[in-house]
């Protein structure tokens, strides 16, 4: 199958698999990752570096000739003292996967020269000079043109000058492993320390190596080095990168083909982003008709229009978030529940608040605040019900600040009083924190105890750029200097929390941002916000209604999340399946350079299964190619549960094969394919149902399959899988019980056992699966 066919035949999969990425912090701004298209890009590159993207040309000069030429070039440079003597790190390595015959696996050091950069001192930077490239000065898209630094060039820096087609790689920090190919050299450039400069010998296509650096083969090395060395990768790690090297002509053809397919991916990405944006705009516009409705009739008409297309409109995580925010706004506008004329008006509630504050001032428990300006009509941004009243946030109670007890005094820390900072503001109700203080800290510092039921707010920090974290204290605590607390009464805490969430967008707009990015909410702006307050009884009715709606919203969000997970797993499975099934393009001398055992292990490992390969049993009457197909099919169905009532008692793959002494396979005439696909699908479905299902080296193998034409909703698939699991006791499989399960299939007429011990699925099995 051509790559173009892989793209077009699975177009809906690549464009529908989307992942929501969240920046750290609660309710942070979200960014969608086009997961399917990302996986498609990875698949294209993986096929390319495995020799499966283009046909091989037997007349191409083999890659070993390129290596011989490089050795000669390196020797000449050594004679001219242009490079140091070459000392290979390690020429012995295990070939990670199969490649065509005229390719070679090499370590990067065999085809490149390296520099680790010069340790420039920032105090010696000058306004006019040669530009220095630091880690922060580049990413995969190119060189950055802001915060440029320069250094006065000296002859001793010649070896640190970069050239066109050099590769850069970050060796430390949060972006360790990022790389850039210098396809153009806008001016002379010097490389700074901890930036690896990689210069390739002639005969190596730089852009091909750029693509190889993006493969899992290289990224796994970077990840392992990063995790074990605290965000660092050594020059030795980089020099040891394994590179599948094609003939020089084939490298260039691969680059042209990859570029062509990446352009197609770019187009898919643009179209998908445009579709997502159009959907978001449509949802936003229709929801605004609810909040802008002038009366109940107009509100009902708007809702009727939305409800007729509910399934289409609210099919993404973003649309559910918009729906939740709209419902909050309707709640605080008095449009969610009916008003009761028998309710005590909110004006009486505000009178009691004012009286309580006066008493606290009289008792010298709080200081008298400067009166806030009366609320103008312009500040009442909607027409509230007659029984409601408006009040400024600062008039609801009194304000307390925070601080940090001295970290140098150990006796201040580790007590029973939570010390809440912005990093703790991840829940609606706070009763604990990552840090806590002692009574001694409170008695000897200016920190104030925040009473139970107070409103906690973050007023300084980067999170204010996109969100406004608020919570209610459920325990007496103190806060740090980046937060404020409002001590209040009369208004239900849950309702005030609701108002603040509904006003999040308005409050974020009030945030001041400094030139270096610090965000701050000035108290004068924050506590002058005008809030609509309903009667207390209506507050309770609103909260009760919201509780019911939130359950429905959460259920809908869970279904969408489960569907998105299944879509991503299907995308992963298709990518793995095509990576494994795609044969090496035909050529006169293209073949695997592995033994049968190495080949089987390579196929098994490439399938993404976490089951450990321990050996194989291949009946003599089954050809190797057929056996490879069976391995690919079974590998995707490795399922593991936890010990206990709902668990799986573990059986190693080797023990299972030995005990069965046969191979279970599917007759081609049934058209039952895509078993690796089902492995991810089944895992996803059972996980979403609440079973603990993982892929692991100790595992029982569950053999099921779906026809390609089977198209069911996630819920139908879930119900069907759970039903079959219960029917055939798939929740508690062990080595002995597996035979019993096969007999269950046999008794129900779903399978038959041939005289040679091979189990075969019957036609009825297909109909059974299609039925449920």
The DSSP result for 470-539, as a single string, is EEEESS-BEE-TTEEEEEE-SS-HHHHHHHHHHTHHHHHTT-EE-TTS-EE--HHHHTT-EEEE--HHHH
CA distance 719 to 57: 51
Decide if 739 is inside a domain.
yes
- Whether the CA torsion 340, 343, 349, 350 is positive or negative: it is positive
If one counts every other C-beta atom within 10 angstroms of the C-beta of residue 123, the result is 5
278 pLDDT above the threshold of 70: yes
In the chain, the largest separation of any two C-alpha atoms, in whole Å, equals 100
Residues 350, 242 share a domain: no
Decide if 568 is inside a domain.
no
What helix, strand, coil percent values describe the chain, rounded to 5? 45, 15, 40
Decide if 509 is inside a domain.
yes
**Confidence (pLDDT) at 725:** 46
**Spatial CB neighbours of 70, under 8 Å, sequence gap ≥ 6:** 110, 111, 201, 202, 203, 204
Angle at 433 between CA 430 and CA 434, to 5 degrees: 155
- Bridge partner list, 392: 530
Q: Give the domain range for residue 466.
A: 346-527
**Confidence (pLDDT) at 743:** 55
pLDDT in tens, 656-714: 333 322 222 222 222 223 333 333 334 443 343 333 333 332 222 333 333 333 333 33
- Whether the CA torsion 655, 656, 662, 663 is positive or negative: it is negative
Residues 605, 495 share a domain: no
Whether residue 721 contacts residue 731, with contact meaning beta carbons closer than 8 Å, is answered with: no
Confidence band, pLDDT 50/70/90 cuts, at residue 93: confident
**Confidence (pLDDT) at 758:** 44
Averaged over 85-91, what is the pLDDT? 58
Averaged over 266-280, what is the pLDDT? 92
**Spatial CB neighbours of 426, under 8 Å, sequence gap ≥ 6:** 26, 469
Decide if 707 is inside a domain.
yes
Distances in whole angstroms, Cα of residue 424 to Cα of each of 139, 406, 432, 449, 480: 33, 19, 8, 17, 11
CA distance 235 to 223: 15
pLDDT in tens, 485-504: 999 999 999 999 999 999 99
Which token pair is 583? 């044969």
**Spatial CB neighbours of 714, under 8 Å, sequence gap ≥ 6:** 559, 562, 563, 566, 685, 688
**Confidence (pLDDT) at 605:** 55
**Confidence (pLDDT) at 448:** 87
Range from 22-36, 143-157, 658-672 that averages highest in pLDDT: 143-157
pLDDT in tens, 98-133: 889 899 999 999 999 999 899 999 999 999 999 999
312 pLDDT above the threshold of 70: yes
Say whether 13 sits in a helix, a strand or coil.
helix
DSSP class of 178: -
Of 169, 167, 176, the closest CA to residue 229 belongs to: 176
Residues 412, 496 share a domain: yes
Domain end among 527, 552, 568: 527
Confidence band, pLDDT 50/70/90 cuts, at residue 95: confident
CA distance 367 to 233: 58
Decide if 495 is inside a domain.
yes
Q: Which residues of 415-426 are buried (b: 16+ CB within 10 A; e: fewer)?
A: bebbbbbbbbbe
Residues 235, 98 share a domain: yes
pLDDT in tens, 403-461: 999 989 999 999 999 999 999 999 999 999 999 999 999 888 878 899 999 999 999 99
More confident residue, 322 or 591: 322
604 pLDDT above the threshold of 90: no
More confident residue, 564 or 405: 405
Residues 612, 689 share a domain: yes
- Percent of the chain at pLDDT above 70? 71
Tell me what the pLDDT averaged over the chain comes to. 78
602 pLDDT above the threshold of 90: no
Q: How many residues does the chain have?
A: 772
Of 652, 655, 603, the closest CA to residue 631 belongs to: 603
**Confidence (pLDDT) at 670:** 27
Averaged over 280-299, what is the pLDDT? 91
**Helix pair angle (653-660, 735-747), 10° resolution:** 50
More confident residue, 557 or 769: 557
Q: What is the CA radius of gyration of the chain?
A: 33
Which token pair is 534? 């309903």
Give this prediction's pTM.
0.67
CA distance 749 to 766: 11
Residues 350, 217 share a domain: no
Q: Are strands 470-473 and 455-458 parallel, antiparallel or unpaired?
A: antiparallel
Which token pair is 109? 């050091």
* Lowest-pLDDT range of 356-370, 413-427, 531-545: 356-370
Whether residue 499 contacts residue 315, with contact meaning beta carbons closer than 8 Å, is answered with: no
Domain end among 202, 220, 246: 246
Confidence band, pLDDT 50/70/90 cuts, at residue 256: very high
- Look at the chain and report how many structural domains it folds into: 3
Residues 738, 660 share a domain: yes
Decide if 546 is inside a domain.
no
Residues 603, 508 share a domain: no
Residues 515, 388 share a domain: yes
pLDDT in tens, 605-655: 554 444 444 444 444 444 555 555 554 444 433 333 222 323 222 233 333
Task: Report how far apart the first and last C-alpha atoms of the chain are (Å, whole number).
Answer: 31
* Lowest-pLDDT range of 70-74, 509-513, 536-540, 707-711: 707-711
Residues 85, 168 share a domain: yes
Which token pair is 305? 């229009």
91 pLDDT above the threshold of 90: no
Q: What is the CATH number of the domain that holds 121?
A: 3.90.220.20
Decide if 485 is inside a domain.
yes
> Which residue in this structure is represented by tokens 């320069």?
150
- Bridge partner list, 196: 169
> Which residue in this structure is represented by tokens 């997970």?
565
Residues 237, 371 share a domain: no
229 pLDDT above the threshold of 70: no
Whether residue 701 contacts residue 634, with contact meaning beta carbons closer than 8 Å, is answered with: yes
CA distance 771 to 707: 12
Across 108-146, where does the E strand assignment appear? 112-115, 130-133, 138-139, 142-143
Residues 220, 111 share a domain: yes
Decide if 239 is inside a domain.
yes
Which token pair is 49? 């570096």
Domain end among 231, 246, 261: 246
């Amino acid at each position: 199958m051509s790559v173009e066919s892989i793209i077009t035949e699975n177009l809906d999969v690549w464009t529908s698999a989307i992942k929501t990425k969240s920046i750290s912090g609660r309710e942070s701004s979200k960014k969608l990752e086009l997961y399917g298209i990302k996986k498609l890009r990875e698949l294209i590159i993986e096929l390319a570096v495995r020799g499966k993207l283009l046909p091989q040309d037997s007349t191409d000069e083999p890659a070993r000739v390129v290596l011989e030429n490089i050795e000669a070039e390196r020797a000449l440079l050594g004679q001219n003292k242009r490079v140091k003597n070459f000392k290979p790190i390690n020429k012995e390595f295990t070939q990670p996967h199969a490649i065509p015959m005229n390719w070679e696996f090499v370590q990067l050091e065999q085809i490149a020269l390296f520099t680790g950069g010069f340790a420039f001192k920032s105090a010696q930077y000058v306004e006019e000079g040669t530009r220095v490239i630091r880690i922060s000065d580049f990413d995969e898209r190119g060189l950055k043109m802001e915060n440029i630094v320069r250094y006065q060039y000296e002859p001793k820096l010649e070896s640190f000058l970069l050239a066109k087609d050099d590769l850069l790689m970050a060796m430390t920090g949060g972006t360790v492993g990022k790389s850039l190919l210098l396809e153009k050299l806008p001016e002379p450039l010097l490389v700074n320390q901890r930036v690896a400069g990689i210069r390739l010998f002639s005969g190596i296509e730089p852009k091909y190596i750029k693509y190889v650096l993006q493969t899992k083969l290289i990224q796994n090395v970077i990840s392992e080095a990063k995790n074990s060395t605290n965000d660092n990768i050594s020059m030795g790690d980089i020099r040891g990168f394994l590179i599948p090297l094609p003939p020089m002509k084939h490298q260039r053809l691969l680059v042209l083909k990859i570029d062509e397919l990446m352009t197609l991916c770019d187009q898919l990405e643009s179209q998908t982003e445009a579709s997502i944006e159009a959907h978001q705009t449509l949802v936003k516009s229709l929801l605004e008709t609810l909040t802008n409705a002038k009366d109940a009739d107009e509100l009902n008409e708007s809702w009727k229009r939305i409800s007729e297309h509910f399934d289409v409109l609210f099919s993404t995580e973003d649309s559910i978030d918009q729906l939740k925010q709209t419902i909050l706004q309707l709640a605080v506008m008095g449009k969610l529940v009916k008003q009761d004329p028998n309710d005590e008006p909110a004006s009486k509630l505000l009178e009691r608040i004012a009286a309580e504050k006066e008493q606290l001032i009289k008792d010298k428990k709080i200081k008298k605040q400067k009166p806030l300006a009366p609320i103008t009509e312009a500040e009442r941004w909607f027409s509230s019900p007659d029984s409601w009243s408006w009040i400024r946030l600062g008039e609801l109670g009194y304000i307390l600040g925070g601080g940090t007890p001295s970290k140098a005094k150990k006796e201040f820390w580790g007590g029973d009083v939570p010390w809440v900072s912005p990093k703790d503001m991840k829940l609606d109700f706070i009763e604990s924190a990552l840090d806590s203080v002692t009574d001694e800290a409170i008695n000897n510092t200016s920190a104030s105890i925040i009473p139970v039921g107070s409103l906690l707010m973050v007023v300084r920090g980067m999170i204010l750029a996109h969100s406004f974290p608020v919570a209610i204290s459920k325990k007496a605590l103190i806060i740090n200097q980046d937060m404020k607390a409002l001590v209040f009464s009369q208004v239900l805490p849950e309702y005030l929390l609701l108002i603040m969430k509904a006003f999040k967008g308005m409050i974020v707009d009030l945030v001041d941002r400094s030139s270096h990015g610090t965000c701050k909410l000035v108290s004068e702006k924050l506590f002058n916000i005008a809030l609509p307050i309903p009667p207390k009884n209506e507050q309770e009715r609103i909260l009760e209604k919201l509780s019911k709606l939130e359950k429905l919203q959460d259920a809908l969000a869970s279904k969408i999340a489960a569907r998105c997970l299944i879509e991503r797993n299907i995308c992963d499975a298709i990518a793995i399946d095509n990576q494994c099934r795609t044969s090496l393009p035909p050529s006169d001398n293209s073949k695997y350079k592995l033994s049968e055992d190495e080949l089987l292990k390579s196929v098994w490992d490439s399938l993404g299964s976490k089951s450990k390969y321990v050996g194989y049993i291949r009946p003599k009457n089954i050809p190797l190619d057929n056996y490879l197909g069976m391995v690919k099919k079974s590998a995707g169905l490795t399922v593991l549960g936890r010990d206990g009532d709902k668990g799986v008692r573990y059986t190693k793959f080797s023990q299972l094969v030995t005990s069965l002494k046969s191979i279970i396979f599917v007759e081609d005439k049934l058209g039952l394919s895509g078993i690796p696909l089902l492995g991810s699908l089944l895992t996803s479905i059972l996980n979403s149902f609440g079973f603990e299902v993982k892929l692991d080296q100790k595992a029982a193998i569950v053999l099921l399959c779906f026809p390609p034409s089977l198209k069911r909703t996630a819920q139908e698939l879930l119900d069907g899988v759970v039903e079959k699991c219960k029917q055939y006791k798939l929740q508690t499989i062990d080595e002995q019980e597996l035979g019993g399960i096969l007999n269950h299939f046999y008794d129900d007429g779903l399978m038959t056992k041939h005289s040679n011990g091979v189990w075969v699925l019957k036609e009825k099995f297909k109909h059974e699966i299609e039925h449920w």
